[in-house]
Amino acid sequence: MMHKRGLHMITFALLAIGGLNWGLTIWDMGIATWGLPSGLVDTIYGLVALSAVYEIFTHGWRCKECKNEM
């Protein structure tokens, strides 16, 4: 159970990072403008996308975890 909870927290954090990055692009301040190597930026974007897919397909039956944490 702890493994799934840990994965949930990691994917949630990556989704938060992705959402904040989208917001920062309004002011042209997204992570792509930080001078990071393009491979690292692509990796971050890939992890955020995989996290979104994971949360889309698993969050519904795990929602109790979020309620217990708050």
Q: Residues 43-63: pLDDT tens digits?
A: 888 888 888 888 878 776 666
Place of tokens 């889309």: 56
Could you give the CA distance from residue 24 to residue 30 in angstroms, rounded to a whole number? 5
pLDDT exceeds cutoff 50 at 70: no
pLDDT digits (tens, 9 = 90+) for 27-44: 888 887 788 898 988 888
Tokens for 70, please give them. 């708050």
Torsion of CA 23, 29, 30, 34, to 10 degrees: -160
Identify the DSSP state of 28: T
Segment 7-29, tens digit of pLDDT = 888 888 888 888 888 888 888 88
**How distant is the alpha carbon of residue 65 from its chain centre?**
17
* pTM for the full predicted model: 0.66
